[in-house]
Chains A and B, each alone.
Chain A
């Protein structure tokens, strides 16, 4: 079974500082990996996804993540935090199979707080 672990349920950064949200996966084969963002009272929005192409994935809103097989990690970063980045971030994993509907398993989420 596949799973993801998000280290740190709450992360606080100053505006303009580096954002680093951690995600480690467990899978017998390199899976597909996703980062979603959830703003208050809204559904989840896809930030970026890794599907076995380039290991450095760029997403929306200036976020990027790097797939590191040796570390079984897929950490999310942004060079400079903005107040509007305050939200809940979820890492998710799915089996590396195309042509079938994906089955996502989510982590428990990390709440990002951005302070002035």
Chain B
């Protein structure tokens, strides 16, 4: 079974530039998550999709961050314009949605963003 795919793996940009990250979840997984992991901290949830609808985006800085999940499959996360404090690893995760079991989240390798 293929895992969660993310691209690019690394990105370096200047502040005020725009950047986009792509995620392809495990086939059949209904739920998709984007996390921000700042160096030395645990991942923080930015946004959660169930199929192509947003379940939780309460911690997404909506003035500069946006995300979409067209057709309920892959997803893109965009930052426009980027700030220095956006330097972090952006992790995508996906999970199935089962009635009887707590769904496990499966993580991709992440995209390391450096904002100069």
Contacts and interface: CB of A to CB of B under 8 A. Distances in A.
Nearest to A44: B107
A51 B104 CA distance: 11
B109 A104 contact: no
A107 B102 contact: no
Contacts of A99: 98-100
Contact of B42 (A32, A49, A108): A108
Contacts of B41: 108-109
A24 interface: no
Contacts, number: 68
A90 B105 CA distance: 13
A94 B98 CA distance: 16
B109 A102 contact: no
A98 B96 CA distance: 12
Chain A interface residue number, banded: 20 to 34
Contact of A41 (B4, B95, B102, B109): B109
Interface residues of B, number: 31
Contacts of A102: 95, 102-103, 105
Q: Is the interface of B mostly helix, strand, loop or mixed?
A: loop
Contact of A43 (B31, B102, B109): B109
A46 interface: yes
B84 interface: no
A43 B4 contact: yes
Contacts of A103: 45, 48, 56
B44 interface: yes
Interface in B12-71: 30-31, 40-45, 48, 50, 55-56
A43 B42 contact: no
A98 B42 contact: no
Interface of A: 9, 32, 36, 41-46, 49, 51, 90, 92, 94, 98-109
Given A103-B45, A104-B105, A109-B40, 20 more contacts: A36-B107, A43-B4, A43-B91, A44-B107, A46-B105, A49-B102, A49-B104, A51-B101, A51-B102, A94-B102, A98-B100, A99-B98, A99-B100, A101-B95, A101-B97, A103-B48, A106-B43, A106-B44, A109-B41, A109-B42
